[in-house]
Amino acid sequence: MAAALTEAAARLAMVSDTPRLDSELLMAHALGVERDTLLLRHMGEAAPEEFAALIERRMGHEPLAYITGTRGFWNIDLAVGPGVLIPRPDSEALIEAALEHFGDAAPATMLDLGTGPGTLLLAALAEWPEAKGLGVDASETALDYARRNAEALGLAGRAVFQLGDWAAGIDGRFDLILCNPPYIGEDEAIGEDVRRFEPHTALFAGAEGLDDYRRIIPDLRRLMAEGGAAVLEIGWTQADAVTALGAEHGFTTRVRNDLGDRPRAVLLT
């Protein structure tokens, strides 16, 4: 197995920035075990037949999360697949910003606009066990994943998901509003894995990547409960533009950086 992993990592170096990690995760997936268990207990065994096919899929730039069908985010694991935006660690900055804002208090009601597979809403519900939330998305495929993730995490009783166009038709007020909208400009270069496989409707937003912020931010005040907050994900070059949009609509804004120390979340109050 060690030789198979070394050979696979050498091949994956052509398509991945983390070839050894990818090969180990795919081997663990083929065996039906966690990566730690693979490394501790199975390295002396022969590679399973399924492993070669998984490597070929990754060589074709298919995202690792689509191949394994899962991605960890914050303190939860989410099922993901084609048609769904894959959760990124940088998006955890939104949960961190919300935790910092509320401190010892706790939001009772949450809204996740563009929920995808339930990423932000389910992570927040897991953090605040008394809260309830609504997730909205324009994709039935994403909502199907979100509902299944809520069920798997034991959160289905506190999460409702519905088809929608951002905030259109939503009348309630929420303590915490979360949103990771499309924010890539039309002409921006993106990785081959993303370009070929992930849904472009969840990625691109006009020439500057700002089109959806211009739709979302004007609706936030009517949706926000007294003392509430909204947290929006941004591209790392968009902090000035998005905070300016927030100020235009009467919000006080604060920017939080991601794990790479780049601007990633804008808190609006």
Residue with tokens 């309830």: 132
Going along 66-198, which residue ranges are E strands? 70-73, 76-79, 109-113, 132-137, 159-163, 174-179
Confidence of residue 197 (pLDDT cuts 50, 70, 90): very high
What digits encode the pLDDT tens for the residues 211-268?
999 999 999 999 999 999 999 999 999 999 999 999 999 999 999 999 999 999 999 9
Alpha-carbon distance of 18 to 59, in angstroms, equals 13
pTM of the model: 0.94
Model confidence at 44: pLDDT above 90: no
Q: Domains, the chain, ranges and CATH?
A: 2-60 (1.10.8), 73-268 (3.40.50.150)
Confidence of residue 1 (pLDDT cuts 50, 70, 90): confident
What digits encode the pLDDT tens for the residues 104-162?
999 999 999 999 999 999 999 999 999 999 999 999 999 999 999 999 999 999 999 99
What digits encode the pLDDT tens for the residues 82-111?
999 999 999 999 999 999 999 999 999 999
Region at 163 (left for phi over 0; alpha for psi -120 to 50; beta for the rest): beta
From the number of C-beta atoms within 10 Å of its C-beta (0-12, 13-18, 19+), residue 254 rates as middle
Q: Report DSSP letters for 3-33, one per residue.
A: HHHHHHHHHHTTT-S-HHHHHHHHHHHHHTS
